């Protein structure tokens, strides 16, 4: 049975409604973040999805050393705090080190462990000890059943506030595929499972010095994940993805978000959660 978890003001997992994690890949400016957060929150409320705002103060795994990484942790956390206060929704951000986990844990509701760092024991321990919810993205190099070891590290470190996210698996060079079986498999570990619809269509390093992506496959994969019985959806959303400073090719244009969420909501109503699906 999947645990129900407080995600910063609403319950996720268990029999609770599906939820949304959404926002620009990286914090580009305070104004962009606040404007986008207000619009995402309004759209999610209209459709019926409890919402968490996501954006990163630093993208530490960019392909090129010359790529824009973000505005830094101090300014980034200050902006995320304003989102919490002004938009009145919970916030999530990536952390990359023990020190970052401690600092971010004082501000955000959910700490996200990037896929490439999902096996870093010290980082998992530090995130667990903050008392915040910890969302771990399954590494592109891991099977879904291998995430049991990640879960055990977090549990042994004192937390059961855990969310697991599927974001695709490496398939040859510069390509990812999604095995929808991973959603019920990871849900079997007892915690809510999220489908990352935007990183799953990424083409890592596909443009040489940066990643590319296939935005046209976001909606089909998200619909499939809804039918497979996930608990939530992760989507990077931007008002103008083609001008975004990170991950533009695999972000959802803000003006298309409502229609996609409406489709997912309808499928979720029929499919339910993984343990209730009939095979």
Model pLDDT for residues 163-172, shown as the tens digit of each residue: 999 999 999 8
- Is 162 in contact with 5 (CB distance < 8 Å)? yes
In sequence order, the β-bridge partners of residue 69 are none
- Is 41 in contact with 53 (CB distance < 8 Å)? yes
Dist. CA 140–CA 134, nearest whole Å: 18
Residue 102 pLDDT exceeds 80: yes
CATH entry 3.20.20.70 includes domain 4-274: yes
Dist. CA 195–CA 21, nearest whole Å: 10
Mean pLDDT of 4-11: 96
Q: Give the burial class of 155: count Cβ atoms within 10 A of its Cβ; 0-12 exposed, 13-18 middle, 19 or more buried.
A: middle
Supply the pLDDT for residue 276: 64
Supply the pLDDT for residue 274: 76
Mean pLDDT of 19-45: 97
Residue 118 pLDDT exceeds 70: yes
Query: In 10 A of CB 107, how many CB atoms?
Result: 17
- Is 63 in contact with 209 (CB distance < 8 Å)? yes
CA angle at 255 for the pair 31 and 62, rounded to the nearest 5°: 60
Dist. CA 126–CA 248, nearest whole Å: 31
Supply the pLDDT for residue 28: 96
pLDDT digit string (tens) for 185-242?
Answer: 999 999 999 999 999 998 877 655 556 779 999 999 999 999 999 999 999 999 999 9
Instruction: Write phi, then psi, for 178 (nearest 5 degrees).
Output: -115, 125
Supply the pLDDT for residue 232: 98
pLDDT digit string (tens) for 260-270?
Answer: 999 999 999 99
- Residue that the structure tokens 């938009």 belong to: 87
If one compares 276 and 100, the residue with the highest pLDDT of the two is: 100
In what helix (H) or strand (E) does residue 177 lie, and over which residues does it extend? Answer: strand 176-177
Mean pLDDT of 237-250: 91
What 3-state DSSP class applies to 121? helix
Query: In 10 A of CB 222, how many CB atoms?
Result: 26
- Is 200 in contact with 180 (CB distance < 8 Å)? no
Q: Kindly indicate the confidence band of residue 277, based on its pLDDT and cuts at 50, 70 and 90.
A: low
Supply the pLDDT for residue 59: 80
CA dihedral 151, 126, 199, 6 (to 10 degrees): 70
| Beta strands 176-177; 193-196: pairing state | unpaired
Q: 113-132 in b/e burial notation, b at 16+ Cβ within 10 A?
A: bbbebbbbeebbbbbbebeb
Mean pLDDT of 126-135: 98
Mean pLDDT of 119-131: 98
In sequence order, the β-bridge partners of residue 111 are 93, 134
Chain center to CA of 81:
18
Residue 48 pLDDT exceeds 80: yes
């Amino acid at each position: 049975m999947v645990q129900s978890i407080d995600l910063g003001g609403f319950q996720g997992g268990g029999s609770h409604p599906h939820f949304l994690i959404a926002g620009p890949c990286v914090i580009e400016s305070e104004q962009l973040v606040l404007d986008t957060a207000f619009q995402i929150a309004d759209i999610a409320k209209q459709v019926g999805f409890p919402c968490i705002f996501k954006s990163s103060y630093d993208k530490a795994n960019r392909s090129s050393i010359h790529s824009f990484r973000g505005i830094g942790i101090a300014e980034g956390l200050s902006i995320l705090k304003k989102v919490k206060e002004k938009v009145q929704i919970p916030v999530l951000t990536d952390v990359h080190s023990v020190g970052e986990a401690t600092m971010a844990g004082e501000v955000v509701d959910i700490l996200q462990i990037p896929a490439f760092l999902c096996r870093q024991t010290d980082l998992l321990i530090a995130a667990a000890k903050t008392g915040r919810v910890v969302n771990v993205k399954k590494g592109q190099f891991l099977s879904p059943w291998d995430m049991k070891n990640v879960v055990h590290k977090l549990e042994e470190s004192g937390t059961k506030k855990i969310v697991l996210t599927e974001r695709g698996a490496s398939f040859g060079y510069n390509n990812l595929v999604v095995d929808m079986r991973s959603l019920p498999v990871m849900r079997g570990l007892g915690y809510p499972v999220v489908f990352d619809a935007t990183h799953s269509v990424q083409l890592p390093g596909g443009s040489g010095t940066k990643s590319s992506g296939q935005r046209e496959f976001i909606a089909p994969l998200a619909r499939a994940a809804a039918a497979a019985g996930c608990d939530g959806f992760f989507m990077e959303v931007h008002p103008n993805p083609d001008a975004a400073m990170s991950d533009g090719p695999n972000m959802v244009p803000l003006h298309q978000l409502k229609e996609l969420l409406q489709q997912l909501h309808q499928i979720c109503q029929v499919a339910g959660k993984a343990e209730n699906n009939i095979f």
